[in-house]
Structure 1
């Protein structure tokens, strides 16, 4: 009986050494979770149960439990590297099966899908049709766009200025955009875009009239008038009173590029008539040309943005995180992947930084949770346990030999 007890101790110590060796081997593995060998004592039961003086029958390995604690997030600066700061696993699909990982060392395949080194595709919540939010009930593979961002036609031109209250009428009439003496001030050229992304120049010219607090604005696109002159009226405190909403609808302009009509509204809200000098405070418009993909960025909420050279930002999806009631019940699949089991409980998938799910730290990787110093101490302890049990086998052998030699 003593041989079997010692043999069980040797097997347990060997299991402990194997677990420690595996931990040390993965000290630099991204997203690796340290394992711990767990043991239980053995007793030989009889039909009467165990007596209070029963001697144990040895030990057995009951579980090798991975410790799902947070590892350090190390900065890498690489845009597709991600780390989960808090609870949750990245959700992936591999050969049609759903798997989970804490390792965020992602890359793109030849089709532009974001995958882990083994080719499992990262799952995200798809953006809604208008791009304003995400459909948390529908996951899809994250695919990075490699095409250009299409142009956007200008529809609104915003101009904010201050006209001088003591301005005089121009010395030359009628108004002529080629003669600076026929108008008081201008906005200069504002670049606008047609539906093909070709740029055009929109200019507003301001002419002081004989009526106090009243001006006329002449709008041109590429040197062509975009409607008749529109009166601007200011109050005696210098605020714009007409047009009432501060907006002027310009006549459509037909570009020679083959693009559609360029219909724009000029918004003069906030413009004033003060002092003695003209000041152009702000100009803006909502169109842009076609753009090249500059970079991929990921927010703490896991939103993946494609950023283009034209200033357009397009949300491609929101990273889906999954958590379990009992992560230790997950089945290790190797390659830093786990699979759901009955013991782990049902997967609960949601958006980062909601409920008990963590945030996404872009440009970082979660390091292994293995403490090398602790593992070396465990190795020495397991080695001593192995030696002690082996010594027990030797002692039992000596006792058995003594009994055999009795005459």
Structure 2
């Protein structure tokens, strides 16, 4: 009996030593789970009953149980290394056999499959070409090909336009030339708001009480009115030609010119041609006078004299016997009315100045010019891409306009668009008009409340200004719908300004997003806490390649270890519950990390001492039993 008892103890202690030694050997094995031996005593008993004072038959090993407690998580330099923080196992495909492991030391094989050190493929949820995760489980694979370019089909700009900005464009109404004789002695009122007279212009008497007798004085009187500016010019086209001068001869030819009755000193002592007379006039001391030779409309060159300040001219010429003139020429007045001038009313005289003013054209004196920042209030640029992945710079220009109506409760801005220095979306002819309400919110763009602008006339070009081979604009007459359908076939794209505001604060670009990008090469991999594997590319894009799947079991201790730090499903473990990391009871993923062995080396060394002691004690039991038996044998 004692021999059997001691022998069972030796066997149990030997198993304990083996398990402890295995734990110690795997103290540095990633994902390893320690084991412990569970013992049970042995008693002899009959079929119907046991003895009153049964004596034990020794010990037996009931089970070697693994501890699936969490091991420490340590960081690594491999982006594909993963550690599970919490419950769950990685799912591995071992040539068709499914295994489960906590060891997350992963890499990539030559085909791009994510594998462990034993070339088992990691299982997960695959993604499509656009990075959308599916519910289909399979081998996870990293695509090492270049990321194909994507053309821009949508650009969203979230801007704030400063409502405090002034209107930069100066719109003026040009009136003239008006002959001084037609406006002489007139008096008219100027209004700046609703037609009510605000200022009176009197063309008969100057502010100092002197009479107005020339176009120059009339222009000065008009200039005194706020919002009006005027200039005067007197042009005298004579009938004097070269033939008259030649026929008269230098000795007989004479010419006189007066400015407001004051004779101009001109040297006519040796005039032999019309050009000599022109030079003599231009060499006079009067700098406001200029002379030139012009065609009188019949093919004859004649003398023209201009006084650029609008004084009255009087000229005459002769050949000694005949005198032509004197001829009096009064000046013309040109008037410019700025935007602030609403109209000219209450005209008193023969000429209808109000009609002239109302019918005159409107001119923009500082019209929008993309290379002159003084002609726009705000501008912002962003990079867009054509179908070949070539980058292009798109610039949006914003010009504040006069508020429509009475300016209460509504504001307007003009929008100009430029790509690579060329105007697009027809804004070279007519800009888009953005209207904002009294709260600064965008009401519409060209009447469309959606706040979208479709750019359908862009031809992508190279640095030399030639088409670069990328898709161009849609055919003439083609209707472009928004959003642009996939896959796009033209260069048309949508500028979404629905989030644009006009508040009383500085201009700012709150957000600007476009969906295009150039070609990209794989530059790195990232893994999220949900186990999603993202590929990073050199063009700044990232795309989901798949998501690691985890499995849990109702009875984890029912799993069967098969080596290589992996387990397989058994009847006792139950079927796996598979899901995405960080869902349900499954743990999360720690990227660039591994889970270390959960072996407590200090504890194992103590267990080793205990197992050794137990082994020695059981051996002593056998030795003692042998001595007792030998004593009996030696009895005589």
TM-score (norm 1): 0.91
The alpha carbon displacement at 1:235 in A equals 3.6
Partner of 1:23: 23
- Kindly indicate whether the alpha-carbon contact (under 8 Å) linking 1:89 and 1:100 is maintained by their aligned counterparts in 2: yes
Partner of 1:142: 140
The alpha carbon displacement at 1:127 in A equals 3.0
1:217 aligns with 2:217: no
2: CA distance between counterparts of 1:142 and 1:277?
49
The alpha carbon displacement at 1:3 in A equals 1.2
Partner of 1:226: 424
| 1:295-350 C-alpha deviation (Å, 9 max, x unpaired) | 21111111111122323221111111111122222111111011111121112211
Match of 1:342 among 566, 571, 574: 571
Partner of 2:459: 254
The alpha carbon displacement at 1:47 in A equals 4.0
1:322 aligns with 2:322: no
SS in 1 for 2:567: strand
Partner of 2:161: 162
- Kindly indicate whether the alpha-carbon contact (under 8 Å) linking 2:425 and 2:458 is maintained by their aligned counterparts in 1: no
Partner of 1:204: 396
2: CA distance between counterparts of 1:336 and 1:75?
19
User: Residue 238 and residue 22 in structure 1: after superposition, are their counterparts in 2 closer, same or farther (change >3 A)?
Assistant: closer
2: CA distance between counterparts of 1:388 and 1:208?
99
User: Residue 282 and residue 141 in structure 1: after superposition, are their counterparts in 2 closer, same or farther (change >3 A)?
Assistant: closer
1: CA distance between counterparts of 2:46 and 2:402?
117
The alpha carbon displacement at 1:67 in A equals 1.0
- Kindly indicate whether the alpha-carbon contact (under 8 Å) linking 2:106 and 2:114 is maintained by their aligned counterparts in 1: yes
Deviates more, 1:290-299 or 1:121-130: 121-130
| 1:119-155 C-alpha deviation (Å, 9 max, x unpaired) | 11111112367644430xx311111121222222112
The alpha carbon displacement at 1:224 in A equals 3.0
- Kindly indicate whether the alpha-carbon contact (under 8 Å) linking 2:90 and 2:551 is maintained by their aligned counterparts in 1: yes
TM-score (norm 2): 0.60
The alpha carbon displacement at 1:19 in A equals 0.7
- Kindly indicate whether the alpha-carbon contact (under 8 Å) linking 1:324 and 1:344 is maintained by their aligned counterparts in 2: yes
2: CA distance between counterparts of 1:48 and 1:398?
36
Partner of 1:118: 118
The alpha carbon displacement at 1:173 in A equals 6.0
- How many residue pairs end up in the alignment? 404
1:298 aligns with 2:527: yes
- Kindly indicate whether the alpha-carbon contact (under 8 Å) linking 2:160 and 2:503 is maintained by their aligned counterparts in 1: no
2: CA distance between counterparts of 1:277 and 1:368?
59
SS in 2 for 1:373: helix
Partner of 2:220: none
The alpha carbon displacement at 1:156 in A equals 2.2
Structure 2: state its 5+ residue gaps.
171-363, 405-410, 461-466, 472-489
Deviates more, 1:350-359 or 1:306-315: 306-315
- Kindly indicate whether the alpha-carbon contact (under 8 Å) linking 1:331 and 1:340 is maintained by their aligned counterparts in 2: yes
SS in 1 for 2:161: strand
Partner of 2:264: none
Partner of 2:620: 391
The alpha carbon displacement at 1:34 in A equals 0.8
Structure 1: state its 5+ residue gaps.
none
CA RMSD of aligned residues (A): 2.4
User: Residue 343 and residue 283 in structure 1: after superposition, are their counterparts in 2 closer, same or farther (change >3 A)?
Assistant: closer
Partner of 2:606: 377
User: Residue 238 and residue 10 in structure 1: after superposition, are their counterparts in 2 closer, same or farther (change >3 A)?
Assistant: closer
SS in 1 for 2:631: helix
User: Residue 239 and residue 398 in structure 1: after superposition, are their counterparts in 2 closer, same or farther (change >3 A)?
Assistant: closer
- Kindly indicate whether the alpha-carbon contact (under 8 Å) linking 1:192 and 1:287 is maintained by their aligned counterparts in 2: yes
- Kindly indicate whether the alpha-carbon contact (under 8 Å) linking 1:90 and 1:321 is maintained by their aligned counterparts in 2: yes
The alpha carbon displacement at 1:90 in A equals 0.7
The alpha carbon displacement at 1:172 in A equals 4.1
| 1:223-247 C-alpha deviation (Å, 9 max, x unpaired) | 3332232123334554433312322
- Kindly indicate whether the alpha-carbon contact (under 8 Å) linking 2:113 and 2:140 is maintained by their aligned counterparts in 1: yes
SS in 2 for 1:249: strand
- Kindly indicate whether the alpha-carbon contact (under 8 Å) linking 1:30 and 1:365 is maintained by their aligned counterparts in 2: yes
The alpha carbon displacement at 1:272 in A equals 4.2
- Kindly indicate whether the alpha-carbon contact (under 8 Å) linking 1:253 and 1:262 is maintained by their aligned counterparts in 2: yes
